[in-house]
Structures are given as C-alpha cells and as structure tokens.
Structure 1
Amino acid sequence: MGVVSSVEYETNDGVATIRLNRPGSLNGMNSEMMSELSGAFAAVDVDQTVRVVVLTGAGRGFCAGADLAAVRNSDEGAASVETMEAMFNPVMRAIASCPVPTVARINGAAAGGGFGLAMSCDITIAASSAFFVSTFGPRLGLVPDLGTSYHLAARAGAARARAVAMLGDRITADQAAEWGLIWQVVDDDELDAAVDEVTATLKRSSPTAMTRIRSMLAQAARNTLSEQLDLELHHQRDLIPLNLDEGAAAFVEKRDPDFGPTR
C-alpha cells in the first residue's frame, strides 16, 4: 500500500505500522483519512504475515479528533452523520474485528474521536507527555462517538466516565493508566522501546489464541459465569490440539514457542 496522503502503512518483520499522517492538524480526521485507514486495516486482513498492528500518529499528536475546520468549511458538516455511518464507524468495527492484536502508540494529544481511537486498540501505550480529552459535550454540544462512550463506561467506572464525558477535563497519561483507560505510560524517549517490547511478545504468540482472547473478553461483560466457562471450554477444545504440544515443549525446553510464521 505504501505511503498515501493521510495514512502511512508499512510492514516489517510481522508488524504493520499504521500512522495517521496529517500532522498539520494534529492528525485531525476527515473522510480521506478514514477511507485510507479502512484500506490499511483491509490490507492487514489479507496479509497473512502480519502478526500485530501498531497504530500511531505523525508529528506531535496522536489524533485531535475530527478536523473541525474542514468540516465547517465544506459539505462534510451538513452530512456529518452520514459520513460517520459510512466511513468513521466502519473503521472502528474493523479495528475491533482485526485478526491480529492491535497496539496504540500514543505520542501526544488524543482528543475527541481520537480519544476513542486510542482506546479502541487491545493495548494502549502512551508517552508521559500525552494526554486525553473528551471535547464532545462541554465544547461542541455533542455526545462522545467513535466508541468513546463504550470504552469510558467499560473501563473508567460510572463516576469517572460521566465526569470525563461531561466536563471535558484534560486527562494526563498517568491518570489514564491509573483509571484503566490505557495499559502503560513510559517516558517520552522510551515510547518506541516499550512498543517494540510489546509487539515482540505478541509476535511470538499464537495468532489464533490472541484473536479468541479478544473475542472472549468482549463477551465476558454480558455473559454469566456459567456461559463464560462454556465459552472458555469451547475455545480450549479448538486450541489444545492446535497449540498445546508446541507450547508445552517450549516451556519445558525454556525457549520461545513457534506457532508458525503466519496466522
């Protein structure tokens, strides 16, 4: 796919890096970007050598949400709901159903829909200077979108979710980690190393197991314990003959398991 105007896509040794590439607007989202982001995740779907995706932003920010200047000065504003339905929400669904683990590398501001995008990945790692803010309600008179309301409610607890969404206060990276909104905070100059360490672990894992772990955890919130036990049994029934011999041998031999070069 190569370099495109709003999104950069590259693969290296099993890692697909998807970089939002509108640094002049802090990677503000528009229809072009979302179309290219959709294309990037479609490329991941068909590339069997990709074992993990890293989503990040170019320049000094991760994503500032929708490009409001572009929306205000174009026909996109009048058709924003239709654009969201046709182009924005499908990207969020593509991330949720990605066949490999996803890692968000948060290098700066994640605001508005960018906040939801940051939380959409399986593992989110932020630089200590990064921050998060839900601008929808207090500043724009809108409700959180791009999954922001879903992830806030699921991770932050009712009191924090309401305050974050209604007040629009800036949330530091440390706060976000403390509240369970993201996985890890590291010093700015250690961000790449931290992401590399996580992707190395994920690359060694079974792609089939990783996909099923995500699906199983997503269902846990609405399942009873009995239903979840049945679901665990269902997945183990498939995975034990596929992976256990190699996993157990690697454990005994004190080496990394080899679950195959592709998913």
Structure 2
Amino acid sequence: MASPILFERDGDVAIITLNETAKLNALSLDLQRELRARLADIRADRTVRALLLTGAGKAFSVGADLSTEGPMSPGTPGLGQRTADLMHELSNRIVTDLRELPVPVVVALNGAAAGAGVGIALAADVVVAARSAYFYLPFVPKLGLLPDLGATWFLTRLLGRARATALTLLGERLAAQTAAEWGLIWSCVDDEQLRAQALSLAQRLARLPAARALDARRAFDAAAGHTLDQQLDYETTRQRELLDAPEFAEGVRAFLERREPVFGSR
C-alpha cells in the first residue's frame, strides 16, 4: 500500500507530496496524521531550510474525504461533534503547523485545491500554481457548510471581503491565472514548468536568514489587527532585537564587500 505522504530532500529543501491520488488527495485521517508527523520532523531538523509542498496526480487536495468509507459519512451519529473534535485535534493543527514552521513554505499547486485543501494551500508563504490548477469552495452552495481550515481568514486578507464572499456563496472555480491576477497567489506557470519553478523558489528562500519567514508571517498577521501606531511599535520592537542578531552583521558585511550574504543554519 502506497504511503499517503511522500518525503524527499533536495539539498536544504524538504519536499512533501500528498499521495492519495485515487481520492485526489482527499484529507484522509492517515494522510493528515502522516503530514503532521512530517511537518514535526521538518521543524526539528535544523538542516532543513525550506519546505516545498505539492500533490501527486491531478489534484493538490480536494479537501475532506466524503467517500462512504470516509470520516464524514452523512448520517453518522454525532457527526458534527466528532468532526469538530477531529478539526481541533488534527486538521486545524496542520494549518497552524505550517504557519509556525521556522522555514519558508512554498506550495506548488499542481491541480485543484478544493474545500479544506484551499486552507492548506493558502497557509504557505508562496504559492505557485500550474495553469490548469484552480481553487474551489463548494461548502455553501453544494454542502450547506462554511469554508474551514483557515480559508475564511486567508481569503478575506488576501482578496478582500467582496471577492472572498462571492467565491464562497457562488461556488465558482477560481482559475490559477485569475488567482495570480487578483493577488491570491504569487504566480501561475505552465504545467510542465511547475516543479522546476517552485523548487527554484524554495532553494532561493532556503538562503534566507534563519526563522525570518516566521518573523514575516507574524508581522503581517499582527498588522491585520493593529492600528498604524501599534504596528509601528511592533516593528520597532522587532528591529531592536534583530539588529543585535548575527544575521544583520553578516548582511552589512556582505553589502560592504559587494557579495551575497551567507547566513548560518537555523
């Protein structure tokens, strides 16, 4: 039986591939648990400096496993409470795991990101999508549910409320090219170029100072809830700390010596 998650290394870059292709990488419990385990390994391994997350087959992930054998089979007694417990204990933690990783995260969106797969894809720092890929939120018009795994949070901040609401209520597919034009993702590339382009970005991000991707995430998240004065104070506090870090000293030396900085491992 094939593993639901494939893991490999390309130098400093860890590569995770969702690998339940028969179900279009639906979020089975086995896949979710294995994904969390691999993210924990990356967090602990100081030789990893960037993560590339993608899917095998035709889809990135179509979200919850709605098959008759899946954990969300309609009519199951206590389905709502049991699913909410699973979200608290497992599914939601995938998103927070990604957001708390001390390394940059690149998603190579190889195909559909639907349902809960949208939240996982948008938890990345940089999303590069194949031209054939798309986002799809069937929750309201097809299932009578609301978007989850952070999709409402990410979409509102990345697209604005008007587009986020329309996508949610209409349930229309958002093509990768349009997603790039709207600013939801970094770029859209031809399908055959996806892997190379995404890996190149991950390798570039792997050269960043240690944990600065996490710093950047936290700064932008803070900005969403701060007044300008509060964010100015936040930035000042962080700069006070970072100016005394060895990465800044190396950056200045590299600037004066007209070379690229070489930052130490995390």
TM-score past 0.5 threshold: yes
Match of 2:178 among 175, 178, 184: 175
8 Å CA contact retained: 1:102, 1:122: yes
1:13 maps to amino acid: G
Counterpart residue number, 1:104: 107
* Residues 157-168 of structure 1 mapped to structure 2, 5 A cutoff: 157-168=160-171
Contact 1:10 1:16 in 2 (8 A): yes
Residues 209 and 239 in structure 1, CA contact (< 8 A), matched pair in contact too: no
**Cα distance in 2, alignment partners of residues 75 and 23 from structure 1:** 26
Offset of residue 4 of structure 1: 7.0
**CA shift for structure 1 position 72:** 2.1
1:68 aligned counterpart, secondary structure = coil
Say which SS state the counterpart of residue 225 (structure 2) adopts. coil
Which residue of structure 1 lines up, in the alignment, with residue 240 of structure 2? 237
The one-letter code matched in structure 1 to 2:189 is V
Say if 1:92 and 1:120, in contact at 8 Å, map to a contact too.
Answer: yes
Match of 1:41 in 2: 39
Match of 2:51 in 1: 53
Deviation string 1:32-85 (CA, Å, 9 cap, x unpaired) is 111111101111111011111111101121001111102328969822222222
Cα shift at 1:210 = 2.3
Distance 1:136 1:256 in 2: 47
Instruction: Decide whether the 8 Å contact of 1:18 with 1:56 is kept in 2.
Output: yes
Structure 2 residue 200 is matched with structure 1 residue 192: no
Residue number in structure 1 paired with 2:93: 90
Please, which of 13, 16, 21 is the counterpart of residue 15 of structure 1?
13
- Equivalent pairs, count: 260
In 2, the alpha carbon distance for the partners of 1:77 and 1:129 equals 38
Residues in 2 aligned to 1:76 and 1:189: alpha-carbon distance in whole angstroms: 45
TM norm structure 2:
0.92
Q: TM-score, normalised to structure 1's length?
A: 0.93
Distance (Å, rounded) in 2 between the aligned partners of 1:145 and 1:103: 21
Contact 1:76–1:83 (Cα < 8 Å) also in 2: no
CA distance in 2, matches of 1:76, 1:32: 22
Q: Which residue of 2 aligns with 1:257?
A: 261
RMSD value, Cα: 1.9
Distance change (3 Å), C-alpha of 1:235 and 1:114:
same
1:123 paired with 2:126, answer yes
2:94, 2:120 within 8 Å by CA — same for their partners in 1? no
Post-superposition offset of 1:208 = 2.9
* Cα distance in structure 1, aligned partners of 2:53 and 2:42: 12
2:105 touches 2:202 (CA, 8 Å); kept in 1? no
Partner letter of residue 250 of structure 2? E
Ranges in structure 2 where 5+ consecutive residues have no aligned partner: none
Give the AA of the match of 1:256: E
The structural deviation recorded for 1:200 is 2.2
The 1:163/1:44 distance shift into structure 2, 3 A limit, reads same
String of CA shifts for 1:179-208, please: whole Å, max 9, x gaps.
221111111111122112211221111023
What's 1:151 paired with? 154
Residue matched to 2:251: 247
Per-residue deviation, residues 120-177 of structure 1 (Å, max 9, x unmatched): 1111110111011001111111010011111111111121111100111011001111
Distance (Å, rounded) in 1 between the aligned partners of 2:2 and 2:105: 21
Code of the aligned partner of 1:247: G
| Cα distance change on mapping 1:62 and 1:196 into 2, 3 Å | same
Change (3 A) 1:211 1:4: farther
Q: Hey, what does 1:72 align to over in structure 2?
A: 73
- Name the % identity: 40
Distance 2:256 2:190 in 1: 36
